[in-house]
């Protein structure tokens, strides 16, 4: 039986970062990482293997090279049982490895609802982080013409845009009132909706799919209102479920939503066992409510926390909840969101003030690559603390969203934004006199002042 100081189960982003961070902080300790597949996909790049990247080979994570460089042993196998008393893990190959510390990073699996009649027909697909499955899926889609994408979250939107760019007729279907409904407020979601339609995607919102029709193979779909639409393939982008069965059957506490329960150091209820990534429990940074957010960026933050705290708690280095920072691009237009939306804040009974400012990302606006840039900031009404933000702009939208995320994490107020010091350049940023994040904050500050005068 092999022994190691730290055993990591899972080789995607969370597992890799946990191992690398852990080794960097505890260099004298031995680390072994075990993954189910030799080749691991870059999770966020998966939609682009269907066109822009030309194939899955261009979307691989350099896991083995990174681990080898850091002196970490990598093994391809599958964990089937954890003995938390003996501190041993049994693998499908029959091998056992004993550990001092264990990190579970088993990820998630795409959902294929049992209630969806016809979901087992040929040409009904999900979107896993599985190279072999995705390669087969791409081959089969090559013979399709009309494709339905079910679920208009980020993956559904990105995949739809990628497919329509490469000649497919795509219908994007979302049961909620708006596309990207959980990430953006209605006025921003409407702009993204319009942009996607202008690129040739047929979008249906406010009603979901009820059946997939066909004899052995997909022929059509039926919506909740009875409408039938002919289709050659159906792609289900309806969310993911945490891979927590291994932990659960091993006696590690799993919550009611099947996430492995963890504290702010990413420790589970079992001694010397950590969990990170999609399989681990999440709480919203602002509301503290349990949420099912699954993001590679969140997973990597959790992984760094676990790696640093393996053998000695760095008391200030904790994971205090997911801010849910997302960004994407449709053509040359970027979109981003961080924290809670205005509609989510209302559901959580948080009073808010908002500021929405539209400007240009260059100064003067006649420079090449100039693009409209819109920022919406959301602040808690009683404190003025920034709790959310949404961005539309050029390619810099993702980094502007990260700035808002940093402000949320540090509980910055609107007043902090008014005095923030920024670096600007005509070819790189908006004007310092009309910097959209600052201008959006000014709008909220004026509302706060007005409320004070009325009181």
Q: What is the pLDDT of residues 241-283, one digit of tens each?
A: 999 999 999 999 999 999 999 999 999 999 999 999 999 999 9
Would residue 11 count as lying in a domain?
yes
| 75 and 124 together in one domain | no
Residue 111: closest CA among 130, 91, 132, 127: 127
402 domain residue, yes or no: yes
Domain shared by 121 and 231, yes or no = yes
Residue 315 lies in a domain: no
Domain check: are 146 and 159 in the same one? yes
Q: Rounded to two decimals, what is the model's pTM?
A: 0.94
Question: What percent of the chain is modeled with pLDDT above 90?
Answer: 94
Structure tokens at 251: 């006696």
Q: Is the peptide bond before 364 cis (omega within 30 degrees of 0)?
A: yes
152 and 213 in a common domain = yes
Are 230 and 119 in the same domain?
yes
Question: Average pLDDT, stretch 130-156?
Answer: 96
Residue 322 lies in a domain: no
* Residue 205 domain flag: yes
**Per-residue b or e along 136-150, where b marks 16 or more CB atoms closer than 10 Å to that residue's CB:** ebeeebeebebbbbb
Average pLDDT over residues 67-90: 97
Q: Which two tokens mark 252?
A: 């590690």
- Provide the domain limits for residue 95: 2-109+241-308
Averaged pLDDT for residues 363-372: 92
CATH number at residue 414: 3.30.390.30
C-alpha 284/C-alpha 271 separation (Å) is 25
Report the length, in residues, of the chain. 455
Instruction: Return the half-sphere exposure (C-beta side, CA atoms, 13 A cut-off) of residue 78.
Output: 7
413, two tokens: 């107020």
Q: What is the CATH number of the domain that holds 49?
A: 3.50.50.60
The verdict on residue 24 lying in a domain is yes
Q: Do the beta carbons of residue 63 and residue 57 sit within 8 Å?
A: no
Are residues 49 and 105 both part of a single domain?
yes
Same domain, yes or no: 261 and 180: no
- Domains in the chain: how many in total? 3
Asked, for residue 329, whether it belongs to a domain, the answer is no
Same-domain pairing of 170 and 233: yes
Same domain, 255 and 175: no
| Residues 104 and 247 both lie in one domain | yes
Residue range 138-161: mean pLDDT, rounded: 96
| 53 and 100 housed in the same domain | yes
Whether the pLDDT of residue 452 is over 90: the answer is no
What pLDDT was estimated at residue 455?
64
Of 330, 347, 115, which is closest to residue 208 (Cα–Cα)? 115
**Looking at the domain assignment, is residue 69 inside a domain?**
yes
**The pLDDT of residue 302 is above 80:** yes
pLDDT at 287 over 90: yes
Q: Going by C-beta distance under 8 Å and a sequence separation of 6 or more, which residues neighbour residue 94? A: none
Are 100 and 247 within one domain? yes
Q: Which of 192-201, 348-357, 362-371 is predicted with the least confidence, judged by mean pLDDT?
A: 362-371
User: Which domain-ending residue is among 308, 342, 364?
Assistant: 308
Domain boundary among 222, 238, 254: 238
Among the candidates 208, 238, 268, a domain finishes at 238
Whether 451 has a pLDDT exceeding 90, the answer reads no
């Amino acid at each position: 039986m092999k022994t190691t100081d730290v055993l990591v189960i899972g080789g995607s982003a969370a597992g890799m970062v946990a191992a690398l961070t852990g080794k960097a902080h505890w260099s004298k300790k031995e680390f072994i990482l075990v993954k189910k597949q030799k080749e691991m996909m870059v999770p966020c790049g998966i939609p682009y293997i269907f066109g822009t990247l030309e194939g899955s080979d261009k979307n691989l994570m350099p896991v083995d090279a990174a681990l080898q460089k850091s002196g970490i042993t990598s093994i391809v196998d599958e964990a089937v049982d954890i003995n938390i008393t003996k501190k041993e893990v049994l693998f499908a190959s029959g091998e056992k490895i004993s550990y001092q510390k264990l990190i579970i990073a088993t990820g998630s699996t795409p959902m294929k609802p049992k209630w969806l009649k016809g979901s087992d027909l040929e040409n009904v697909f999900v979107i896993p982080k599985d190279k072999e499955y995705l390669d087969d899926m791409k081959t089969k889609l090559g013979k399709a013409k009309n494709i339905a994408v079910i679920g208009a979250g980020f993956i559904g939107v990105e995949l739809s845009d990628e497919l329509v760019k490469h000649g497919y007729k795509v219908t994007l279907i979302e049961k909620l009132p708006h596309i990207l409904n959980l990430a953006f407020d209605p006025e921003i979601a409407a702009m993204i909706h319009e942009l996607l339609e202008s690129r040739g995607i047929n979008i249906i919102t406010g009603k979901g799919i009820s059946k997939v029709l066909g004899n052995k193979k997909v022929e059509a779909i039926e919506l909740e209102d009875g409408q039938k639409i002919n289709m050659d393939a159906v792609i289900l982008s309806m969310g993911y479920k945490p891979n927590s069965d291994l932990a659960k059957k091993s006696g590690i506490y799993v919550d009611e939503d099947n996430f492995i329960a963890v504290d702010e150091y990413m420790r589970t209820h079992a001694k010397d066992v950590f969990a990170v990534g999609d399989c681990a429990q999440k709480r919203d940074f602002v509301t503290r409510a349990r949420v099912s957010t699954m993001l590679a960026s969140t997973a990597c933050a959790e992984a760094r926390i676990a790696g640093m705290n393996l053998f000695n708690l760095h008391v200030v280095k904790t994971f205090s909840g997911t801010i849910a920072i997302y960004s994407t691009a449709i053509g040359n237009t970027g979109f981003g969101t961080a924290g809670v939306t205005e509609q989510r804040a209302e559901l959580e009974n948080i009073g808010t003030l908002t500021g929405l400012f539209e400007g240009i990302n260059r100064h003067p606006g006649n420079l090449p690559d100039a693009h409209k840039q819109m920022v919406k900031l959301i602040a808690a009404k009683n404190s003025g603390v920034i709790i959310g933000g949404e961005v539309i702009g050029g390619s810099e939208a993702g980094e502007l969203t990260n700035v808002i995320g940093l402000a949320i994490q540090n509980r910055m107020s609107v007043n902090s934004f008014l005095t923030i010091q920024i670096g600007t350049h005509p070819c790189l940023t908006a004007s310092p006199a009309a910097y959209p994040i600052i201008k959006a904050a000014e709008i909220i500050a004026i509302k706060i002042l007005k409320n004070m005068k009325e009181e």
